[in-house]
Amino acid sequence: MLHMVCMPPEAVNFTDTKTIYALVQCTTDLSPDDCNTCLETAIANTSTCCSKSRGARLFSRSCFLRYEFYAFYEDASKSSTENQRIFAKSRRYWMIVGLAIGSAILIVALVGFCVYCLAIRNQTKTKERQVSGQEVQIHEIGDPNKIDVHHQNLQARDNLNSQNFPFIDLVRLSAATDNFSASNKLGQGGFGPVYKGQLLDGREVAVKRLSSCSEQGLDEFTNEVLLILKLQHKNLVRLLGFCIDGEEKLLIYEYMPNGSLDVFLFDPRKRAQMNWSRRLNIINGIARGMLYLHEDSRLRIIHRDLKPSNVLLDSELNPKISDFGMARIFGGTDGATNTSKIVGTYGYMAPEFAMEGLYSIKSDVFSFGVLLIEILTGRRNA
């Protein structure tokens, strides 16, 4: 089999208006001189065989000649340029397709996000309306300037939203307690009397009214409101609302029909109802409430005034800790904190707190220990 050596085709300007396109090839067994001789012979033969033709193809054993007046071959340089043009066009096409698809995905994602945000917003508004519907209507009475100032001070202490801040006006509370009559008085706390009342919706409540000579000032009152609003536990008394009107400061709690623990412990007739299972249940409930205050709540709270009169009993004699006016938010360590103001009840105060003003969660543990002895023995510690 013969192998051909192909020379690149060329275009030669034959005249000013015509171009001849030619291709020559030789077999690989020819030397350059023999190839040249073979091609010269082929060219000479064109004058005899193809003088009147516009093109010719001549074959011999060792060489091949072809010429035409048209481009019978593809220009490699032009082909490369065309391929590059086609590739660039294809790349632009796919780039446009990719951008279109990406834009569509982005638009769908944005629309989905907006729909999600609107759904969350509508759900939040619905919940707020439900909460607002359960709250007592606010009525401005007395000196509205004083009410607004105190209300703003309370909100500023903890960034509270007014919708989550149940304010009950004095007129409603006065009507609920029969103008704070003696027949509705439940007892006398360290900061003032406590009255039983009934709101317009039928709920029974306990209204704690701070007396003008009470040691609990606006700071203690504010502290108790802010603390109890953040605490949610079955062994803590639930705060339902508050009232500030001039010099009047009142707290509204859920009503505990069985009163405070000290009545059952130290009253000869009611003491008989306190069998060992009930005493154990009360001890466990108080312990769970204190554990929540010390460890499980969002804030670490030290009650500082745990005693039988500050433990209330519901209709089933389940205990609930109350009276957080002296409570303090404690840091994250187990160390003690010092105060120059000694508050609480002697007999239930830890020695280091009573003598040096040092208090920690151990102060509540000491008070709980005294309370535990009183529950077990049925006798006052002093």
Q: Are 284 and 209 in contact (CB under 8 A)?
A: no
Number of helical H runs and strand E runs in the chain: 9, 16
Q: Helices 276-291 and 361-377 meet at what angle, rounded to 10? A: 170
The predicted pLDDT at position 282 comes to 96
Structure confidence at residue 131 (pLDDT)? 39
Cβ-proximal residues to 291 (8 Å cutoff; 6+ apart), any chain: none
Residue 262: active-site member: no
Between strands 204-209 and 192-198, the pairing is: antiparallel
User: How many of the other CB atoms lie within 10 Å of CB of 259?
Assistant: 17
CB 308 within 8 A of CB 264: no
Sign, Cα dihedral of 133, 140, 147, 216: negative
pLDDT score, position 149: 42
Q: How far apart are CA 15 and CA 17, in angstroms?
A: 5
Amino acid identity, residue 319? P
- pTM above threshold 0.85: no
Burial bucket for residue 155 (CB in 10 Å: 0-12, 13-18, 19+): middle
Which residues, at least 6 apart from 276, have a Cβ–Cβ distance to it below 8 Å? none
Residues 6+ positions from 234 with CB-CB distance below 8 Å? 318, 320
Supply the DSSP symbol for 326: T
pLDDT of residue 139: 33
Question: Nearest to residue 334, comparing CAs of 296, 370, 361, 295?
Answer: 361
Q: Which helix (H) or strand (E) holds 98?
A: helix 76-134
Q: Which of 169, 305, 323, 364 is catalytic?
A: 305
Q: Which residue has the tokens 């082929």?
A: 42
Q: Where are the alpha helices (DSSP H) in 292-360?
A: 351-356
- Half-sphere exposure for 271 (CA within 13 Å, toward CB): 13
Element (H, E) at 109: helix 76-134
pLDDT tens, N- to C-terminus, the chain (382 residues): 344 444 455 555 555 667 888 888 998 888 889 899 898 888 888 777 777 777 888 888 889 888 888 877 766 555 566 667 777 777 788 888 888 898 889 898 888 888 888 888 877 766 555 434 433 333 333 343 444 445 555 554 444 444 455 788 889 999 999 999 999 998 877 667 899 999 888 889 999 887 665 555 666 667 667 767 778 899 999 888 888 887 888 888 899 999 899 999 998 888 888 999 999 999 999 999 999 998 888 778 888 889 998 999 999 999 999 887 666 655 555 555 555 565 678 888 888 877 887 878 888 999 999 999 999 998 888 6
For residue 187, the model assigns a pLDDT of 82
The domain ranges of the chain are 4-68, 155-254, 259-377
- Please give the span between the terminal C-alpha atoms of the chain, in angstroms, as a whole number: 129
**DSSP assignment of 178-246:** TTT-GGGEEEEETTEEEEEEE-TTS-EEEEEE--TT-S--HHHHHHHHHHHHH---TTBPPEEEEEEET
User: Residue 348 and residue 370: Cα distance in Å, rounded?
Assistant: 6
Please tell me the CATH code under which domain 155-254 is placed.
3.30.200.20
- Tell me which long-range contacts 147-153 makes (C-beta under 8 A, separation of at least 24): 147/244, 147/245, 147/246, 150/218, 150/244, 151/244, 153/218, 153/222
DSSP helix/strand/coil, 329: strand
Decide whether 4-68 matches 155-254 in CATH topology.
no
Cα–Cα dist 287/289, whole Å = 5
pLDDT of residue 56: 85
Question: What's the CATH code, domain 259-377?
Answer: 1.10.510.10
CA–CA distance, 150 with 165 (Å, rounded to integer): 13
Per-residue exposure over 12-36, b if at least 16 CB sit within 10 Å of its own CB, e if not: eeeeeeeebbbbbbbbeebeeeebe
The span from the CA of 239 to the CA of 235, in Å, is 13
Structural fold of domain 4-68: Killer Toxin P4; Chain A (3.30.430)
